Structure 1
């Protein structure tokens, strides 16, 4: 998925209740933050990984002026329509081989592209652009020793300062990736506007003891509001030294959402996780232990402890099948606004499965199914749910991206709540829907280095250029057979994020 990182453990979707629905809106803000900021993902981050794949073409262009023959190679198409049968008919055709390598890259077959580029260099070892492209592919394949040797060969050639700087960046990245201990710090700040921040019923009616009543209290009707949010995540990973790349990791996350007017909906969370990655050529298994504490209006109301196990199987070069199961023990505490919250305490079981398909270097689609059961201290808070989500990421030139997702599900509760439905046997059934579209890039695309002069100005530019920005529009709604839980909300969000690796 291109969206919430698997090892963050912010399991706040459990806040699907009356007071909890208010907090759930803020939990969605956490999800939005993590989805648009690809740099916060693990293994490497999905957007970052996809961006690196797209940037290979841009980095290859940097050497296009090295020789006339290189310029001719770069003028070829993207390889569409080329097959291996074409290569067999003319195996020594450099241009044909290069087009085939580009086709393999577009299909996600990185290893195949590596072999094809190696064959081109055997035919003509003096093609510096191909050697750079080959070195970048090796870097992506984690063949760091061979990639370093290729970069060093290129570094010794008479190349432009810009290309030399790119190669130095890759050599520095290789040295960092060889470190046994890796650390990352990510920080985000943003602002959002909600049309129905308090999740008030759509028709301004609620059911009490089986009778519909009009909501007359202004504070309980639709309330729009602005909010300011901040989040930080620190992650440390230790490589166990195996060739397969097994590692262990730990991370801590903090988040706070401050409402301008509706202070009773201010939400803060703190989460800690520890786990590891077991890797084989086609399968990665990630077990994680997670603890999360959340507060509403500066009152602690939720402590969640649990475990999650995820498996990713590289079914084909362009297709990854994945599955995830989790268990959480959720304990709610009473707050001044709701003394009944402890009745929602209990266990939550969840299973997810799906597939991610990489169409080419710029397009990736993920489809997933979710089954969950929440057991609570009272049966009218116990429910089963099933849902599906479809998401897509489109990468554009210059590091820009568009991300969209759509999800729909059904939550079926176990028993009626007599305080709501009275003597009627009506059991709550919700149909949650969520649609989101984000567009983002980095600040460097909006600025020119020359605007900042030299020395201190350039230091400022180097600091702010990697900052990513995104704007998100989101629609969230729940259709319910009980008016109390039937609502919708539009959210507009602007986010700035910065990530450091050391």
Structure 2
């Protein structure tokens, strides 16, 4: 438990240093690194304080018996500064306090607390590894490297040495002004209703219901996603980073060729630190083809503001985005151009980590699309998602999105009614390193080296579109798996 806890805090701290950079189709790859500002609930009642004291005494016995400070600290409830003053020489209490400071985002004070523990327990490798990670997080790279040198010279624990090697690589990368990465995802998906056939099987044409003939058509699709990212550290106090990324998506349907998708996504921007918080202006472009025909072009600008609130319990943000979409008519969508126009989005939200393994996020968005009358609408969207880091480097993510759309006028070709939609989407994704799976194939099986960094993700998604116009009232289930690989250079 002790060294495993350090590895979880390693992921936590790396997540705190990661900023969102606009639209990306590789969100699954980043799921394990999403942990940001977090907080532990304080103890409030006499009974809880009594349990804390009992747990502290039990943890002290654990330290004496096992000499595992990390495990002892993990056994404690959240610790306050007053409890540290009551037991200034108790390493478990001090370490638990440091962990709580990390969860609150107070890295500097956490590092000072961990350093004090090392004075009395210099051979506690797990604690020293945590100290090195904290120094890395504070950008004190020379001191962090010195702590890694100590660990490398005496530790025999494979997990610790693996983290030492990883943070040496991260330190080298941080010392480079320009950082690059690339990622590839390959997989398949299945849709139960790929053609979005109405639930009731009828379409309105000029207000007259017409019975559909095709029914729901299920289909498989092959997916390939390739992405690259570049970031330049300006070494400035205010203008801190310039970034750009690009992604290419290819989705080939087995049966419904008219829904074959090819897309190019481009993003760029910078990170600016101000006294009000972090500002991230950005530029975005998306070019999409359906069945090898130009379908849409999307160009947008955005401004995102980030700031911790509620005593750093929540990493709050607000983002405004304005763009223009141009649609082209295709063989299968001869009226697509009617959707062309401007759009605006306003999103406010926040992230909070419940512990060092669980992140929750919520957001509220107001959207406005200005196109031809019956294609123009305003919508309100609520999104909630979570990321849970599981043992053995596996993870689980889930999300619920609800969007209510109000169209401005009726489409006379369909009906004189004005359309109102309620779209709901549920998604659950499980990720596991492929190397974990190959371990069960027996000792005779030698896993190829390139599989060590490949992550398998398996997703299940249900989408329901509830509309007052039967043409747009449908649901669909999607199952998907992806093999994901990332390189940093």
**What is the TM-score when the length of structure 1 is the normalising length?**
0.82
Cα shift readout 1:305-362 (whole Å, capped 9, x = no counterpart): 1111111112233310011111111111111122222121110111111111111101
Which residue, 475, 480, 483 being the options, matches 1:493? 480
Match of residue 425 from structure 2:
434
- Shift in Å at residue 75 of structure 1? 4.2
Is residue 2:281 matched to residue 1:265? no
Contact 1:70–1:127, Cα closer than 8 Å, also in 2: no
Q: Is the 8 A contact 1:310 1:323 kept in 2?
A: yes
The 10-residue stretch of structure 1 (471-480 or 131-140) with the greater mean CA deviation from structure 2: 131-140
Partner of 2:188: 191
Corresponding position: 1:35 with 2:46: no
Equivalent residues of 2:129, 2:160 under 8 A apart: no
Tell me the equivalent position of 2:47. none
1:379 maps to 373
- Partner in structure 1 of residue 302 of structure 2: 308
| Alpha-carbon distance, 1:277 to partner | 1.2
Point out 4+ residue stretches in structure 1 off by more than 6 angstroms: 67-70, 449-454
1:355 paired residue number: 350
The answer to whether the 8 Å contact 2:69/2:127 transfers is no
* Residue number in structure 2 paired with 1:181: 178
| Cα contact 1:346–1:375 (8 A) shared by 2 | yes
2:72 alignment partner, SS class: coil
CA distance in 2, matches of 1:107, 1:308: 29
CA distance in 2, matches of 1:475, 1:162: 38
More deviation, 109-118/289-298? 109-118
> 1:131: Cα distance to partner?
1.6
1:403-435 C-alpha deviation (Å, 9 max, x unpaired)? 1111112111111111111xx3x1111001101
Q: Does 1:321 align with 2:308?
A: no
CA contact (8 A) 1:108 1:361 kept: no
In 2, Cα distance between equivalents of 1:132 and 1:244:
30
Deviations 1:34-73 (A, max 9, x none): 33221xxxxxxx522539x9xxxxxxxxxxxxx9887242
Question: Does the 8 A contact of 1:282 with 1:314 survive in 2?
Answer: no
Contact (CA 8 Å) 2:202, 2:471: kept in 1 or not?
A: yes
Q: Is residue 444 of structure 1 aligned with residue 435 of structure 2?
A: yes
Q: 1:311 to 1:188 in 2, by over 3 A?
A: same
Helix, strand or coil for the counterpart of 2:195?
coil
Q: Distance in 2 between matches of 1:453 and 1:173?
A: 34
Helix, strand or coil for the counterpart of 1:427?
coil
Between the aligned partners of 2:441 and 2:258, the Cα distance in structure 1 is 47
Distance 1:254 1:75, change over 3 A: closer
| 212 and 162 in structure 1: CA distance in 2 versus 1, 3 angstrom threshold | closer
Kept in 2, the 8 Å contact 1:108–1:317? The answer is yes
Residues 1:239 and 1:35: Cα distance change in structure 2 (over 3 Å):
closer
* Secondary structure, counterpart of 2:413 in structure 1: helix
* Structure 2: distance between partners of 1:472 and 1:83: 40
* Separation in structure 1 between the aligned mates of residue 98 and residue 347 of structure 2, nearest angstrom: 35
1:139 maps to 136
Q: For 1:46-445, list aligned pairs within 5 A.
A: 47-50=32-35, 71-78=67-74, 79-107=76-104, 109-157=106-154, 159=156, 163-216=160-213, 218=214, 221-243=215-237, 246-279=240-273, 283-315=277-309, 316-376=311-371, 378-421=372-415, 424=416, 426-445=417-436
What is the CA deviation profile of residues 367-393 of structure 1, one whole-angstrom value per residue up to 9, with x for unaligned ones? Answer: 1001011011x2111111111011111
Give the number of aligned pairs.
446
Measure, in 2, the Cα distance between the counterparts of 1:480 and 1:95. 57
Shift of 1:170: 1.6
Partners of 1:277 and 1:103 in 2: CA distance: 28
Unpaired segments ≥5 residues, structure 2: 1-14, 39-62
TM-align CA RMSD: 2.7
1:473 aligns with 2:450: no
Structure 1 stretch displaced more, 83-92 or 490-499: 83-92
For residues 360 and 352 of structure 1, the distance between their equivalents in structure 2, rounded to whole angstroms, comes to 25
**CA–CA distance in 1 between the matches of 2:270 and 2:375?**
34
CA contact (8 A) 2:70 2:95 kept: no
Structure 2 residue aligned with 1:42: none
| Conserved 8 A contact 2:466-2:474 | yes
CA 208–471 in structure 1, closer or farther in 2 if over 3 Å, else same: same
Deviation at 1:208, TM superposition (A): 0.9
The normalised TM-score by structure 2 is: 0.85
Helix, strand or coil: the match of 2:332? coil
- Alignment match, 1:18: none
Answer whether contact 2:155 2:161 (CA < 8 A) is retained: no
- C-alpha distance 356-163 of structure 1, shift in aligned 2 (>3 A): closer
> For the residues of structure 1 that align with 2:160 and 2:205, how far apart are their CA atoms?
70
> In structure 2, do the counterparts of structure 1 residues 115 and 160 end up closer, same or farther at CA, with 3 Å as the change threshold?
same
